[in-house]
Structure 1
Amino acid sequence: MDLRREARNRAADVAVTAVAAGLGLIMLQAALETYPATQRTEIARDLPIGALACTVLLLFRRRWPVRVALLLSVMETLASSAMGASAMALFTLAVHRSWRTTAGIAALDAARVLVVFRLAPMQTDREYVEGVTVVLLSYTVIISVGMLIRSRRQLIESLTERARQAEEGQRLRVEEARLLERERLAREMHDVLAHRISLLAVHAGALEFRPDAPLDQRRAAGIIRKSAYEAMEDLREVIGVLRDDAAEAEPERPQPTLTDLPALVEESRRAGARVVLECLVPDPAAVPARIGRHAYRIVQEGLTNARKHAPGARVLVTVDSPAAAGLTIEIVNPLPPGFVPLGLPGAGAGLVGLGERVGMVGGTLEHGRTGDDRWRLRASLPLPG
């Protein structure tokens, strides 16, 4: 990238210098035609100064644009062929420096032009006015073009920076969505594991204090009960850092399973959504709670997306467990007219969380536009054999 930019800069330098040389030759020719034969500019003295001016412009215009503009303004008074280099130095100044700096040096150059043209052997006042007007208008056009190029570059840099910030913001939002979903999963795991470990401790305690149980079994049950209690304490300590102790923190509640899907759909219907649920699973209660909980969250996110991006559309939710295919969840809704996926910042954060959730159990997640102008979210979750 740096080599390419360097090559572009060199090519621009050569082009600017070529334009300066051409303008210098034109000005020299005009001077030779204007002045009487006895007062013609000496070409042998003029051309070397013009060549030196073009060389200075080529080598140093980017490094020291202000100094080069001032130096070439002085050289312009010594040779007509250096006027092109002086004009392109003002162009470079307008591209690389602020308008205040450019305006100040341009004003000095304009004053120099007025003085030099007044001292030159012009034949009439009209020729003086015409000559000054042409030169000053030329300088104005050149400086205006340079300032337009500067403004365009600043605009491109601003848009590039905004795009970079938008991409960085999107990356941070996606990362935040992943972290939030992992925290949510950790809380759910805490609730489930706490319930199971507490059951283990209760049964172990009952066996420990059973009078007719052998002594070695009661001792083993006591060890199991103590270990379960310690595991509960360790679990609270590790997972507790993910819980918010503020007053607005959500209270613990039973985690949803596949049997809670009808209630979720009914809640969406009461909110005004047109949802149809087709649950083809023979026995939803037999689905493991862990898989059912993930299926519930997938349907919940799918209904939220449909309500957000296609309000009022008919949403079809299909849950099935075909043989050897695990549990499949599909949410389909028609796209609204004129729908265009713009990829706005923040879009898709919920899908990122679903990807984390599905990947944790070894499932697959698909989402996107179908060929018949519908949006489909499909997840496949493996069931234990």
Structure 2
Amino acid sequence: MRQSSLRPTAWPRSPRYPYVSGVLLVLLAAAEVLHSRISSTTVLATLPFVVLPLLWRRREPRIGCLVVPAALLNFLFRPELLMTVAVAGVMGLYTLARHRVLHPALLSAAAITGSVLVNLGHVATGVYDLGGRAPAVGADGSLSYFTESFVLAVGVVATVGVADATRSREESRQAREAAQRELIAMERRHAAAQERAAIARELHDIVAHSVSVIAVQAESATYTTPDLSPPARDGFQQIASSARSALTELRRLLSVLRADEAGAEEAAPVVPQPTLDSLGALLEAHRSGGGEVILHTAGTRPAALPPSLELTVYRIVQEALTNARRHAPGAAVDVRLTYEEDEVRLRITDDGPGPGPGAGPRGPQHSSGGHGLSGMRERASLLGGRLTCGAAGPGGGFLIEAELPVRAVAKSFAEGVYE
């Protein structure tokens, strides 16, 4: 059982609460009937309508419209108010107000009117013992006959007020939770958009470098290749022109995606992006900061991996090391890189405390959800792969596993999917 369910304030919200409290009320009614030896037919006939409907009060709140009149009617025939009837009447009234079956003012007015009618019934039936004399309304001290109405009215107003305040507080809590969920969703969407923009910039650099090489080679071929026919020379010039146009479009697209420089028209710089050969420097930088990391490789690295796949592997390792430094300082990190024929597998573990129960991906400080892991999933998904993360085991630690297909990435890259 979760710790939050043990709190007293959480128990009334439990689905079992109406049934448990209703059964207890039925047992109390049976005990009172037996102890007081009640034989009145009207009292015994109205008592089930006071108690039993409360078992279904949460599923059908309008059932309080039966409970409250039945409780007043029972009180009319038995002025010695039963505790069961008093409790059931308050519960029925609370249910009506809590679920706004009627407007609080209208509900209070109706309940108070019913209380006054019951009080008048007690006066008319001679409930008040005045030494054999009939009570006379208007005589000295006759206002005391209506003390009963006053007490009931105070109870009605208090019950309706508490129920309405509880409803308002619950609505405010739900509104806050909805706003918090929406804020978290907006932050995640914003983080995903930023990550996509970063991926677009990096892929731009990769593709732009290749396209610029194509443009230079096609341009220089017209001068370095002897005995070219005029059609061939024109073909090389068209290739070079198309490559330069593609490069311009790539840079224009990047200027639109740059989240940190919206509206900027300057072209993005073409810089080399990290590859698998850069992993050594990345791991060494982590060690220089006091971290401990070991890289294990298995399998034979293909001669030509797609640059986007190498970049994704580098970024996943980079983010994993950043998370380890931030959330598990001093933890040893183990990186296993496996090359297979169809895919590259990456498994990263640390021996830190791991994610706590009910917390975010790396403990309580991430209860709102970190965006680094979302970015890694975005990168893996864009390449047709998948990434999972979570507790490394019952002893603690954090685990990140990624499977990145090689052939799908190479095919997509060759067909120009990454624009």
Deviation at 1:316, TM superposition (A): 1.0
Write out per-residue CA displacement over residues 306-355 of structure 1, whole angstroms, 9 at most, x where no aligned residue: 2233222211111121x435211111012428832424554142222222
Equivalent of residue 291 in structure 2, options 273, 277, 285: 273
Q: Residue 151 of structure 1: SS of its match in structure 2?
A: helix
Match runs of 1:27-42 below 5 Å:
27=79
Match runs of 1:60-209 below 5 Å:
62-63=101-102, 65-66=104-105, 69-70=108-109, 80=119, 119=138, 128=144, 136-209=150-223
In the aligned structure 2, how far is the partner of 1:235 from the partner of 1:178? 21
8 Å contact kept, 2:298–2:338: yes
In the aligned structure 1, how far is the partner of 2:403 from the partner of 2:355? 30
Instruction: Report the counterpart of residue 301 of structure 1 in structure 2.
Output: 319
Equivalent of residue 405 in structure 2, options 379, 382, 385: 382
In the aligned structure 1, how far is the partner of 2:242 from the partner of 2:354? 60
In the aligned structure 2, how far is the partner of 1:372 from the partner of 1:72? 58
Write out per-residue CA displacement over residues 163-196 of structure 1, whole angstroms, 9 at most, x where no aligned residue: 2222222222222222222111111121111111
In the aligned structure 1, how far is the partner of 2:209 from the partner of 2:234? 23
Q: Residue 250 of structure 2: SS of its match in structure 1?
A: helix
Equivalent of residue 377 in structure 2, options 345, 355, 380: 355
Matched, 1:339 2:339: no
Matched, 1:221 2:236: yes
> Which of the two has greater helix per residue?
1
Q: Residue 275 of structure 1: SS of its match in structure 2?
A: strand
Instruction: Report the counterpart of residue 64 of structure 2 in structure 1.
Output: 12
Matched, 1:253 2:268: no
Q: Residue 209 of structure 1: SS of its match in structure 2?
A: helix
Deviation at 1:77, TM superposition (A): 5.9
In the aligned structure 2, how far is the partner of 1:120 from the partner of 1:24? 23
Write out per-residue CA displacement over residues 136-165 of structure 1, whole angstroms, 9 at most, x where no aligned residue: 455444433333322322232222222222
Taking only the aligned residue pairs, the percentage that are identical comes to: 31
2:338 is aligned with what amino acid?
D
Deviation at 1:290, TM superposition (A): 1.9
In the aligned structure 2, how far is the partner of 1:368 from the partner of 1:119? 79
8 Å contact kept, 1:355–1:365: yes
2:256 is aligned with what amino acid?
V
Q: Residue 320 of structure 1: SS of its match in structure 2?
A: strand
**Structure 2: any 5+ residue segments left out of the alignment?**
1-55, 82-95, 123-134, 361-365, 411-419
Change beyond 3 A, Cα 1:338–1:160: same
Deviation at 1:6, TM superposition (A): 9.7
Asked which structure has the greater RCO (Cα within 8 Å, sep 6+), the reply is 1
Deviation at 1:212, TM superposition (A): 3.5
The alignment of Structure 1 onto Structure 2 pairs a total of residues equal to 315
In the aligned structure 2, how far is the partner of 1:279 from the partner of 1:65? 71
Instruction: Report the counterpart of residue 309 of structure 2 in structure 1.
Output: 291
Change beyond 3 A, Cα 1:368–1:186: same
8 Å contact kept, 2:388–2:401: yes
Write out per-residue CA displacement over residues 257-304 of structure 1, whole angstroms, 9 at most, x where no aligned residue: 111112112222233322222234655885432211010011111122
Q: Residue 162 of structure 2: SS of its match in structure 1?
A: helix
8 Å contact kept, 2:354–2:392: no
1:20 is aligned with what amino acid?
L
Deviation at 1:239, TM superposition (A): 2.4
8 Å contact kept, 1:209–1:218: no
In the aligned structure 1, how far is the partner of 2:336 from the partner of 2:351? 15
Instruction: Report the counterpart of residue 332 of structure 2 in structure 1.
Output: 314
RMSD of aligned C-alpha atoms? 3.8
Change beyond 3 A, Cα 1:175–1:376: same
Deviation at 1:26, TM superposition (A): 4.2
Instruction: Report the counterpart of residue 103 of structure 1 in structure 2.
Output: none
Instruction: Report the counterpart of residue 367 of structure 1 in structure 2.
Output: 389
In the aligned structure 1, how far is the partner of 2:106 from the partner of 2:385? 67
1:379 is aligned with what amino acid?
A
2:69 is aligned with what amino acid?
T
In the aligned structure 2, how far is the partner of 1:266 from the partner of 1:286? 25
In the aligned structure 2, how far is the partner of 1:13 from the partner of 1:82? 21
Change beyond 3 A, Cα 1:263–1:337: closer
Larger deviation, residues 235-244 vs 182-191: 235-244
Deviation at 1:252, TM superposition (A): 5.2
1:66 is aligned with what amino acid?
A
Equivalent of residue 73 in structure 2, options 10, 18, 21: 21
In the aligned structure 2, how far is the partner of 1:62 from the partner of 1:339? 43
**Structure 1: any 5+ residue segments left out of the alignment?**
31-56, 84-115
In the aligned structure 1, how far is the partner of 2:174 from the partner of 2:341? 50
